[in-house]
Each structure stands twice: as structure tokens, then as C-alpha cells.
Amino acid sequence: MAFMSGLQRLLRQSPLLHSHHASIRLASTLTSPKLFVSGLSRLTTDEKLKEAFSSFGQLVEAKVITDRASGRSKGFAFVTYTTIEEAEKAREGMNAKFLDGWVIFVDPAKPREPRPPQQSRSQPSESGFTVNKTVGWCG
């Protein structure tokens, strides 16, 4: 039991371990000036995001992604710079830092994958009524 608590204490205090994990997270190089920011507080706004990231270079856009129905933040955002170098500086400077009391993570943004076309959820029946299959009522 004493061995395990000693091992846990050693792992928590090891700067080598922490720097090793940080270097793994930052290992990939950016191919675009767009960054994905996760771990955001629900209170973080576009303006607060822009303010936090503006010191690293010229921002093209800083956008917190919100839920369409409620308008509340989904907890992530995208930040775009004019150059890849500025984005890399921001990534190094803001990754695993606090913003609005929450630890945020900054990673390269991945290209959006194409979605298959959505099919209509309601189809007219033989009687002419529209059937909503997701809810199960006729109208």
C-alpha cells in the first residue's frame, strides 16, 4: 500500500512525465491556420475568445460554437489566424491554459467531413396525410 501511494506521488510530481505528455499533444505540425479549442466554459463568448487569442497574431475569426435550439455554447470553438506561424504560437501559448476558469485544449482543426444528404423526416401517406415517423403522429 505504501509503495502505491509513493508511486502515485512520484507520478504526480514528475515534471518529465508532464512535459512528455505535453510534447506528445503538440507533436503534430499545423497544416492550416485554423485551430480547434475544446474544454470551454459555457460562459465563454466570441469576444472573450478573441481577447484571449489576439495576442498571438492577427485573427481572421474566433467563433464559439453554439446549440441552434438553446443558443448556449457547446463547449468548443474555432480560431483562425492569417498565418500558420501565428496559429502555432497560439497553440503553444494557450494549450492547457485557463480561460474563464476552465482548462482549454488547443489542437489543429480537422477538415469538415462531408455529411450524407438528409432525407425528409415526414412523407405523405397513401391517404394524403403527412406521417412524422420520429414522433409517430399524423397531421
Do 57 and 83 touch, CB atoms closer than 8 A? yes
Confidence of residue 97 (pLDDT cuts 50, 70, 90): very high
pLDDT tens digits, one per residue of 99-137: 999 999 999 999 888 888 876 555 555 666 665 555 555
Please report which confidence band the pLDDT of residue 49 belongs to, taking 50, 70 and 90 as the band edges: very high
Give the residues across from 123 on adjacent strands: 131
Q: Are 99 and 40 in contact (CB under 8 A)?
A: yes
Report residue 34 as a C-alpha cell: 485554423
Give residue 52's region: left, alpha or beta (phi > 0; psi -120 to 50): alpha
